[in-house]
Amino acid sequence: MDKPASYPPSGPFTTKAVSQATGLSVETLRAWERRYEVVQPCRDAGGRRSYTAADVGRLRLLRTATELGHTISRLAKLDADALAELIADSGGQAQPGPTRGQSYVDRALDATVRSDLYGVEEVLTSAVALLPPSEVVHSVLVPLLREVGERWHRGEVSIAQEHRVTDIVRRLIISVSRGYLRNDQGPCLVLATLSGERHELGILMCSWLAATRRFRTHYLGADCPAEELARFALEVEARAVLVSLVMPENEVPALEQLATLADALRGRCEVWVGGFAARMLLTEEMPPGCVMLPTGQDFEQRLDLLSAQHYS
């Protein structure tokens, strides 16, 4: 088996890959660098530019802000936090917002309270048919599940209603994911949760979003031992392994499992770490080769970078 190309966590990324991942033309990218120094890429001995993941994140924010009407000359002086705040204040967001999705959430919640499970499924099926996948995930499914969970804690919906909504979402994601033709030439992504972690809805959504970007996805399910996950990833020559951490009280410490996984992969692909509990881990404690992706936007940006690099 040929050894798969390594994919350094922080890059470097070529100009072509960055252009594809950000939606900025090469000409615009170079003009912004030359006139406003929005990023400062490194250059190799031949003068070719290389960019980091942080550069790409900043460029995506800059593009969003310019599309909202702000001038690049003003934006060039702002850091990432200031750019994100400006975008939010201007009516835009770094990831799809709840404006269109909220009506679907409200209708699904109403059906849930009435125990109209067919109604819940019909609303969510309509969202999948009419909205882009990323918007369905971020502005319909995630807010719906969060609100149903909160209402269960307040005693406003029963455990049976909460479980049925969860099951409907799970079956829907699996169904729509199968609708994407397998791309045998696309980059390979393996997804799972580690031992002791049985919450899988988030990582199922990630698998769907990856499939929409022409990735070959392999979802191994919940509660997967690190050694088995690494063995499979090496067999299929994965470019990255995504693990989701949701509950902080896992049976086996997360950092220990991540270290085992990264060591078994021997640097042949990245380990992407996402989920609610991942935010509780300290970046400096992460094993080498592991990349923290605290938000859905971070995950999708990483997908775009890997896809752009793969096809460039």
Do residues 137 and 169 make contact, with C-beta atoms less than 8 angstroms apart?
no
pLDDT in tens, 4-50: 444 444 567 888 888 877 888 888 898 899 999 999 998 888 888 88
* CATH topology assigned to domain 188-311: Rossmann fold (3.40.50)
CA 77 to chain centre: 28
Cα distances (Å, whole numbers) of residue 138 to 146, 165, 218, 297: 11, 17, 22, 9
Tell me the pTM. 0.75
pLDDT class for 252, splitting at 50, 70, 90? low
- What does pLDDT average to over the chain? 86
Extents of the domains making up the chain = 15-89, 101-178, 188-311
* pLDDT at position 2: 40
Neighbours of 146 (CB within 10 A): 11
pLDDT in tens, 181-221: 666 788 999 999 999 888 899 999 999 999 998 899 999 99
How far, in Å, CA of 240 to CA of 306, rounded? 9
Give the alpha-carbon dihedral of 220, 226, 232, 234, to 10 degrees.
140
Which of 241, 197, 250, 188 is closest to 215 using CA atoms? 188
* pLDDT at position 208: 94
CATH 3.40.50.720, applies to 15-89: no
pLDDT in tens, 57-103: 889 889 888 888 888 988 999 988 888 888 877 766 544 444 678 89
Look up the CATH number of domain 101-178: 1.10.1240.10
